[in-house]
């Protein structure tokens, strides 16, 4: 069965530059037939009818309460709905335990495919070095869960030790404010995991089909709005943390190491007044099947778009009254970066406004959105399982209507907010409590060598907590004024320079790890970006652009978009060996979606492509017009101009 993708989806895909208007009118996505209850998921004795139109379950009783459901199926009179392999693995896993628990005890250096899917929920991916020949050397990447990017002094020092003892000697700061620890052997997994847990860290839910790390501004400002945003992010992370104990059973023999949860979180999780929960289930929100795919949430304050708000499944912005007191939240839904090359029905998408809620309702509203995706997101084809495809197919009005059934209220109109800005928090800043913080640029988030040694020495000597930013950088928090000079000197000696001494191109760039360990990588990203940035700088100089006229550059080794290249002014997306698809038109404030510009740009042809682009930007731009805004303004005739003036540019494409 298929259903029209709808005007909203067609417009989004066409606006993204991935399809033309004629194709947009014809584009269709296979629909998903909904879910059914299993076990004790639904206690109502009434029979249930599946609505073909909106894909949610309605009771036949007069109350018409929306009920929580679990596994996908068609009505009995029809052929059973196809389910992805991962859905079947989840169903038979005893809440993400089996067969991972057995696979971890074998002598083999790797685990089987079912266990590979399950260990993601525990915060780990199985990898191997793709450049080695004559067999596979398996290892595991561990990713931590750090809401708001908060890392205690104790946890940082532990992660630093683990990287040396069990990893590859480096720490990776991620675009979702977490650590990645690469190179852990299977035999060491339990030791590493239990050490993280016993030092007040966690990897639970850092990967897998559930809510991932919740972003919030990393700046440790002592301000009502920032503190409220960070508290809200913490509460949302707690609300959506798995409850069935599989994580602690696997790594610390069932001994939970948890701090007390705020009562409002417990109340919101247990509330089932609108049919959101699985009664008596170990996973009241997730059930046996968890979510169709990963789910990403960010919380921020007005003007601060350090979190790439619109790339998330749910983006949340604090709204304050005239006295600066937080009173509620704007909610945006449907963002997401991943796509598939040469499959135009997949696309990056920006979140759009859903509505406003008072501050006391935010946990219930978030839960309602998550449940709507749980019940209606596709589980047959994982390429279309993110919530952005559900919203694109339904349209925002229908999506809002269904969410309101689970929320139990109507959303209010979105509130007007000031313009967004990207804020890096690099350099020295006042916290607001008499202390200072210092934001440090880390190229591609890779903490290694003398930088790693210096950071550890400073963090240990001054007993500092840290924050990880969504731009792969790190913030040292709570610094006394008397410490500023010696810390600045030590940082410089370790290669951690103040931002004025770093090339502006490097300050805003990002890259994913890609080769050699990522199994999805098509070409280089982290290892390739230093040379690419140097070559971009050389082209700048050749066409006469000034040193401070920077461009936001992001590079990923595949189209999944981990470094969010579709928001960059100049995005490189790996599409072959030493080859990239170029995207143009994002902006420095991360509020505009780039458009696909050119496929199969070979690395050796980089200057041939970039020089005419930057040349025209310098000559044809408006006053203070950024590269991204310039390319968007002239996108309709960019190809014509370049072909006319630089025919050799297209000779090999």
User: Exposed/middle/buried for 105, CB within 10 Å: 0-12, 13-18, 19+?
Assistant: exposed
Active-site annotation holds for 186: no
Neighbouring C-beta atoms of residue 476, cutoff 10 Å:
24
Of the residues 296, 446, 467, 554, only one is catalytic, namely 296
Axis-axis angle for helices 263-270, 224-239 (nearest 10): 40
Question: Which residues are CB-neighbours of 307 under 8 A, at least 6 positions away?
Answer: 215, 216, 217, 298, 299, 300, 315, 470
Of the residues 36, 172, 294, 349, only one is catalytic, namely 294
Query: 484 vs 17, 221, 426, 462, 488, CA distance in Å?
Result: 48, 17, 14, 11, 6
Yes or no: say if 351 and 333 are a contact pair by the CB < 8 Å rule. Answer: yes
**Cα–chain-centroid distance for residue 11?**
23
Q: From 635, 580, 591, select the one nearest 613 (Cα to Cα).
A: 635
Active-site annotation holds for 294: yes
Pairwise CA distance, residues 318 & 315, whole Å: 10
Q: What are phi and psi of 413, to 5 degrees?
A: -65, 145
Q: Dihedral sign, CA of 314, 175, 157, 125? A: positive
Query: What's the length of the chain?
Result: 653
Pairwise CA distance, residues 216 & 304, whole Å: 10
Pairwise CA distance, residues 564 & 508, whole Å: 12
Of the residues 120, 143, 186, 293, only one is catalytic, namely 143
CA angle 59-60-65, nearest 5°?
Answer: 30
Pairwise CA distance, residues 304 & 629, whole Å: 20
Active-site annotation holds for 207: no
Yes or no: say if 282 and 243 are a contact pair by the CB < 8 Å rule. Answer: yes
Of the residues 207, 400, 558, 564, only one is catalytic, namely 558
Would you give the DSSP letter of residue 204? T
Active-site annotation holds for 562: yes
Question: What is the arrangement of strands in the sheet containing 150-151, beginning at the earlier edge strand?
Answer: 150-151, 466-468, 474-479, 436-440, 427-430
Pairwise CA distance, residues 392 & 386, whole Å: 10
Pairwise CA distance, residues 228 & 299, whole Å: 10
Beta strands at 150-151 and 297-300: parallel, antiparallel or unpaired: unpaired
Of the residues 83, 518, 554, 564, only one is catalytic, namely 518
User: Exposed/middle/buried for 228, CB within 10 Å: 0-12, 13-18, 19+?
Assistant: buried
Of the residues 148, 207, 477, 512, only one is catalytic, namely 512
Q: From 228, 202, 206, select the one nearest 217 (Cα to Cα).
A: 228
Of the residues 212, 349, 423, 595, only one is catalytic, namely 212
Q: From 30, 63, 44, 67, select the one nearest 375 (Cα to Cα).
A: 67
Q: From 144, 308, 158, select the one nearest 218 (Cα to Cα).
A: 308
Tokens 């532990």 belong to: 158
CA angle 541-546-548, nearest 5°?
Answer: 125
HEC assignment per residue over 42-72: CCCCCCEEECCCCCCEEECCCCCCECCCCEE
Active-site annotation holds for 438: no
Active-site annotation holds for 518: yes
Active-site annotation holds for 296: yes
**Cα–chain-centroid distance for residue 252?**
28
Question: Would you please indicate which residues are annotated as catalytic (active-site) residues?
Answer: 143, 212, 294, 296, 512, 518, 558, 562
């Amino acid at each position: 069965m298929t259903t029209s993708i709808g005007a909203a989806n067609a417009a989004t895909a066409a606006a993204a530059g991935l399809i033309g208007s004629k194709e947009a009118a014809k584009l269709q996505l296979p629909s998903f037939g909904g879910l059914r209850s299993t076990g004790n998921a639904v206690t109502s004795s009434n029979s249930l009818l599946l609505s073909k139109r909106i894909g949610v379950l309605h009771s036949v009783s007069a109350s018409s309460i929306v009920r929580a459901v679990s596994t996908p199926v068609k009505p009995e009179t029809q052929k059973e709905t196809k389910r992805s392999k991962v859905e079947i693995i989840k169903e038979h896993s005893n809440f993400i335990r089996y067969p991972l628990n057995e696979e971890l005890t074998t002598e083999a250096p790797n685990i089987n495919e079912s266990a590979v899917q399950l260990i993601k929920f525990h915060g780990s991916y199985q990898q191997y070095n793709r450049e080695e020949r004559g067999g596979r050397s398996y290892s595991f990447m561990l990713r931590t869960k750090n809401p708001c990017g908060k890392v205690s002094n104790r946890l940082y020092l532990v992660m630093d030790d683990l990287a040396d003892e069990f990893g590859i000697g480096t720490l990776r700061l991620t675009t979702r404010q977490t650590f990645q620890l690469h190179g852990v052997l299977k035999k060491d997994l339990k030791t590493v995991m239990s050490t993280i847990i016993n030092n007040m860290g966690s990897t639970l839910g850092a990967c897998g089909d559930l809510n991932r790390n919740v972003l919030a501004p990393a700046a440790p400002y002592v301000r009502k709005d920032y503190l409220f945003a960070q508290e809200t992010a913490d509460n949302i992370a707690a609300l959506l943390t798995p409850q069935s104990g599989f994580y602690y059973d696997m790594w610390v023999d069932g001994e939970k190491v948890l701090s007390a949860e705020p009562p409002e979180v417990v109340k919101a999780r247990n509330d089932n007044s609108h049919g959101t929960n699985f009664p008596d289930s170990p996973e009241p929100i997730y059930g046996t099947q968890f979510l169709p795919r990963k789910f990403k949430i960010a919380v921020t304050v007005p003007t601060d778009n350090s979190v790439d708000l619109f790339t998330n499944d749910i983006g949340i912005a604090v709204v304050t009254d005239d006295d600066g007191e937080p009173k509620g939240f704007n909610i945006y839904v449907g963002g997401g970066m991943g796509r598939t090359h040469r499959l135009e029905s997949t696309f990056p998408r920006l979140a759009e406004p859903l509505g406003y809620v008072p501050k006391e309702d935010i946990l219930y509203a978030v839960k309602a959105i998550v449940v709507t995706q749980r019940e209606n997101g596709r589980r047959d084809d994982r390429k279309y399982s993110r919530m952005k495809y559900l919203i694109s197919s339904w349209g925002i009005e229908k999506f809002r209507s269904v969410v309101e059934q689970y929320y139990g209220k109507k959303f209010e109109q979105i509130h007007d907010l000031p313009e967004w800005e990207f804020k890096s928090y690099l350099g020295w800043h006042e916290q607001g409590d008499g202390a200072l913080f210092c934001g440090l640029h880390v190229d591609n988030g890779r903490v290694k060598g003398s930088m790693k040694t210096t950071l550890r020495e400073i963090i240990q000597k001054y007993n500092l907590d840290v924050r990880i930013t969504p731009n792969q950088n790190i913030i040292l928090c709570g610094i006394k004024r008397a410490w500023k000079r010696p810390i600045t000197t030590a940082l410089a000696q370790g290669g951690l320079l103040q931002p004025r001494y770093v090339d502006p191109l490097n300050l805003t760039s990002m890259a994913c790890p890609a080769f050699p360990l990522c199994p999805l990588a098509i070409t280089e990203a982290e290892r390739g970006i230093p040379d690419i940035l140097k070559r971009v700088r050389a082209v700048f100089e050749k066409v006469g652009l000034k040193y401070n006229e920077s461009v936001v550059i992001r590079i990923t080794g595949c189209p999944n978009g981990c470094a969010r290249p579709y928001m960059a002014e100049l995005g490189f997306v790996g599409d072959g060996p030493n080859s990239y698809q170029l995207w143009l038109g994002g902006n420095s404030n991360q509020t505009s979606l780039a458009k696909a510009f050119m496929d199969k740009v070979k690395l050796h042809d980089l200057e041939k492509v970039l020089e005419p682009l930057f040349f025209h930007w310098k000559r044809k731009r408006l006053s203070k017009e950024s590269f991204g805004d310039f390319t968007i303004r002239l996108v309709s005739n960019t190809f014509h101009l370049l072909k006319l003036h630089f025919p050799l540019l297209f000779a090999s494409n």
